[in-house]
Chain A
Amino acid sequence: MTDTDLHAIADDYLRRVRDALRPLPPTERAQVLDELDAYLRTELAERPGMSSDDLQQTITRLGTPEEIAESALPVAGNASRPRRRVLVTIVAAVVAALIVSGVALGLTLGQSSVASPVNPRFSAPQQIQIYPRQHATNIRFLSFSWFGINKSQWVLRTTFFKPGTMTPSNGPVEQYGPLPRLNELELVYIGSNGSIELYNTAHQRIPTPGAQWTVVPTPATTTTVPFT
């Protein structure tokens, strides 16, 4: 097998990792890919005469794209955002409020477009309580009657993934109902990974940048973590 063939195998692996890491911010994704690329190039350089089987073993040692993507998810309470990110979050929340106001205005004008949200992701088994604190402004804003949206009714769409992967295991599941308390959702999901999206009653997806979700490991203490 030629060096070209080996590099093609490495490139194919990196391409699959890049696809799996799509939810990551671009700079972070680029850094991870650069490192994996450096790892593979180092192996190829240090082991002249490497066979395709050898390279596959190296790739196996690195892990599947799904494993690497899974490891990109934050652990509750660990490596939280630095304080300077809070300002960015606040700015994002303000921008989100402006976007939501635009969406609401769009509703009144009969338009259906909506900004893409940042979706909270969770890994289980965990109890998850979602506190859209930064999002509260948006909720209050949307509750104004002249937008014709009832704040007591929300649609929560959850997507579950196959264990250990980022592949949806079923279609989105929707739940309807009032918020148990103002600006809070309390949910319990056990035994799966997934994502959560919040919609209003007009089925417009509501952006939730800066929202926080609380992970409650059973039965231990509560830790609030930001999501990305």
Chain B
Amino acid sequence: MLILTRKTGQAIVLDNGIEILVSSIDGDQVKIGIQAPREVTILRKEVYEEVRQSNREATSSKANLQKLLGVMEKNS
């Protein structure tokens, strides 16, 4: 991983189109500004990881669907 040192107000440019700006620093919190083309998805990594994990855990057999429907019916 490339590690760069930046001061408040300084930025990094990726691939000619994405700018990452260190907006402010307060203790261990850093505010970051990102300017990117609309087609670029920007996510907090923990959200990305949570969805990926959740997707993996969601794989299920069709037989489970029938069981789930049975339970839904009983409890509706």
Q: Bound pair: A and B?
A: no
Binding site for A on B (CB under 8 A): none
Binding site for B on A (CB under 8 A): none
